[in-house]
Amino acid sequence: MELIKTPIQDLYILKPRVFEDARGFFCETYNEKTFQDLGLNIRFCQDNQSKSSYGVIRGLHYQLAPHSQAKLVSVLQGRVWDVAVDLRNASPSFGQHFAVELSAENHLQLLIPKGFAHGFAVLSETALFSYKCDALYHPAAERGIMYNDPHLNIDWRIPAEAVSVSPKDSKHPLFVEAEMNF
């Protein structure tokens, strides 16, 4: 597995080794020892999946400390534009975001540390999205930031008229009004 640094400290792209032939492919997407060898001491305790159609934007989501979650995200079918926003007050990249296309074809994964908001936009007809979390979901700690916040200026790669957002996600506060404790 290859660890690829992003411009934001502690936010990594992971590229697994993929073995392909006429029958299909095989790749190892997570191995605790491999992660430790890469200096990533994260233990996951919850796996989630979502299926969405073109234009769906999910996010930007996070959980307040002490219930914050690190996430390892990937796409099992389709393509998404995946976005992580640094919410760590002391970070030089506080308020900045990084985005990458994750797809079933490129097998890339994004490792999002605690202290980040996360969201994605579906670029394909449908997408099956998978994420591992290092802490359990804690509803009382759940928070969000408005996906189209002008301060963040995220290009979701979806035309405005094609965007589909849940009623819950459409009510998130702007970045400057969001509760953060990282």
Identify whether 8 is part of a domain: no
Identify whether 173 is part of a domain: yes
Q: Is 131 a catalytic residue?
A: yes
Query: Which tokens is 7 given?
Result: 């411009």
pLDDT tens, residue by residue, 81-114: 999 999 999 999 999 999 999 999 999 999 999 9
Identify whether 67 is part of a domain: yes
Going by C-alpha positions, the residue among 35, 16, 44, 64 that lies closest to residue 134 is 44
Identify whether 54 is part of a domain: yes
Spot the catalytic one: 12, 62, 131, 147: 131
What total of structural domains would you count in the chain? Answer: 1
Q: How far apart are CA 90 and CA 34, in angstroms?
A: 29
Q: Between the CA of residue 13 and those of 5, 26, 34, 42, 96, what are the distances in Å?
A: 6, 19, 15, 15, 17
Range of the domain at 79: 45-177
Spot the catalytic one: 61, 97, 107, 118: 61
pLDDT tens, residue by residue, 66-89: 999 999 999 999 999 999 999 999
Identify whether 29 is part of a domain: no
Q: What is the mean pLDDT of residues 15-22?
A: 94
Q: How far apart are CA 76 and CA 17, in angstroms?
A: 15
pLDDT at 170: 96
Q: How far apart are CA 107 and CA 90, in angstroms?
A: 32
Q: What is the DSSP letter of 99?
A: E
Q: What is the mean pLDDT of residues 104-130?
A: 98
Strand residue runs (E) in 28-174 = 46-53, 57-63, 71-77, 79-86, 97-103, 109-112, 116-122, 126-133, 142-144
Read off the CATH number of the domain in which 170 is found: 2.60.120.10
Identify whether 113 is part of a domain: yes
Identify whether 4 is part of a domain: no
Identify whether 24 is part of a domain: no
